Amino acid sequence: MLTTTPRRELARPLAALFAALLASCTERDVPGTSDTATTTDATTTDSPHTGTSHAEPTTDAPGTSSTSPSTTSVPGTSTTIDTNDPGECIYEDHVIVLTPEAYDAWLHGMGEVGTTGTTGTTGDTGTGTTSDSSTDTGTSTTGDTSTGTSTGDTGATDTTGALEWSSELCNQICDALTSAEAWNIVSCDKTSVDADGTVTILCVEIVQNCDGRSHACITSRGALAHADPVAAYLARAAHDEAASVYAFTTLAGELAAHGAPAELLARILAAAADELRHAEAVARLVAARGGRCRPPQRRPIAARSLRELAIENASEGCVRETWAALLAAHQAEHAADPQLRAVMRGIAADEARHAELAWAIDAWLDTRVDADTRSEIAAARANMAAAVLASVAADSPANALVREAGVPGRARAMQLAAGLADALWAA
């Protein structure tokens, strides 16, 4: 029989808690904020990476301090963290400078001649410049491609009269000349062409995921640039659902090695089967919108201790997965797209059980670790909860995501996250 400590037992099924949270925010709003993005249209985005605008919040998020914008705290706790830590999307800029000869060689399929490049981490919004200025090209290296030729436009031919410039060619160059992982490239653009024909390319790679449960064995990210922000959102979701299959099956093996009860292991494997269905269902939604999905990539990992597993589960399961489950419940009620809403209804019910599973894993692990490790687990959970609150406060989803996909706007998301923090994470 699975045993839990009273401190870890959920007071009620999460589906009931989610329903209460959703009902409580239906008729109220946060003063000074809007439930939909006011600066982002369905056809334009502030960032090419995620289809969302990362606007600064106009009001303080619940549980955050207006005097320290780089830190936030969990309601009911004294924990504060750097909000640039876990929970934020992190992108890395790879700048490639091609001489006219090198550019012409690539257009003719002959590869590299006279190429230089720099890389730099942009931070959580992916809109910064490279931090390495050792290569002076005399050109801007920002993510703004308004002065260059977008890779999405494959109808324009290059001035050399050679092959057409394309996103595929840009990605090939980025893959060959930088350290970027091919599947993690979210955008690649020709940002400028100097008078002498020198070409500067900006390739952006996502190096840290943003939400949902992850696992140490997963090495890929699902983000894709797409003109339709809903298609881009669903493509990433399909990747993450498929990655969760590996995450759960690997976790089951790890916990089995530590003597986890058969009941718990059976629930984990059942969750993996659920995630496979989710991945297939969401992939069909992506295909219907003309998008494509990236398959998850994984790696073998060394055996991990109960401490490592417990800390990961506290962050990824008790916080990220629980928050993602609440978001799914919101989408199941509010998505205007009938097909998407129907899919999310099935997913939401499963994800609520998966979140409960994370807390059940937490309860079993709590019986197997010492007091110092329990403190570490609690800190990891609090840190991730604070990161989620900060991320929600800083993000304004595109109107299309709010309207068609049922993603909560910033004001409503802040209410939901704060309510979840009060009910679970601060306990």
pLDDT in tens, 404-418: 999 999 999 999 999
Rounded Cα distance, 170 and 172, in Å: 5
Residues 61 and 94 in one domain: no
Residues 319 and 416 in one domain: yes
According to the model, what pLDDT value does residue 162 have? 56
Residues 274 and 375 in one domain: yes
Residues 132 and 182 in one domain: yes
Residue 220 lies in a domain: no
C-alpha dihedral sign at 319, 321, 322, 325: positive
Amino acid identity at 229: P
Rounded Cα distance, 427 and 422, in Å: 7
pLDDT cut 90: percent of the chain above it: 44
Residues 188 and 268 in one domain: no
Residues 233 and 201 in one domain: no
Residues 80 and 109 in one domain: no
- Which of the listed residues 208, 236, 259 is the one where a domain comes to its end? 208
Locate 200 and state its tokens.
Answer: 């500067």
Instruction: Report residue 258: phi and psi, to 5°.
Output: -100, 10
**Angle value at C-alpha 377, between 376 and 382, nearest 5 degrees:** 95
According to the model, what pLDDT value does residue 225 have? 67
Q: Taking the complete model, does pTM exceed 0.85, yes or no? A: no
Residues 251 and 368 in one domain: yes
According to the model, what pLDDT value does residue 276 have? 93
Instruction: Report residue 422: phi and psi, to 5°.
Output: -65, -40
- Which of the listed residues 153, 182, 208 is the one where a domain comes to its end? 208
Containing domain of residue 25, as a range? 14-88+226-425
Please tell me whether residue 296 adopts helix, strand or coil conformation. Answer: coil
Residues 121 and 143 in one domain: yes
Residue 45 lies in a domain: yes
Residues 265 and 162 in one domain: no
Residue 57 lies in a domain: yes
Rounded mean pLDDT, 29-34: 41
Count of structural domains, the chain: 2
Residues 119 and 201 in one domain: yes
Rounded mean pLDDT, 155-179: 72
Residue 217 lies in a domain: no
Provide long-range contacts, Cβ within 8 A and 24+ apart, for 310-313.
Answer: 310/362, 310/365, 310/366, 310/369, 310/373, 310/377, 311/376, 311/377, 311/380, 312/215, 312/216, 313/251, 313/358, 313/361, 313/362, 313/365
Is 337 in contact with 286 (CB distance < 8 Å)? no
Residue 4 lies in a domain: no
pLDDT in tens, 69-121: 333 333 333 333 233 333 344 567 899 999 999 999 999 887 765 555 555 44
List Cα–Cα distances, 30 to 111, 391, 415, 418, in angstroms. 54, 17, 8, 12
Residue 163 lies in a domain: yes
pLDDT beyond 90 at 301: no
pLDDT in tens, 329-344: 999 999 999 999 999 9
Residues 34 and 156 in one domain: no
According to the model, what pLDDT value does residue 48 have? 34
pLDDT in tens, 32-81: 344 443 333 333 333 333 333 333 223 333 333 333 333 333 333 333 32
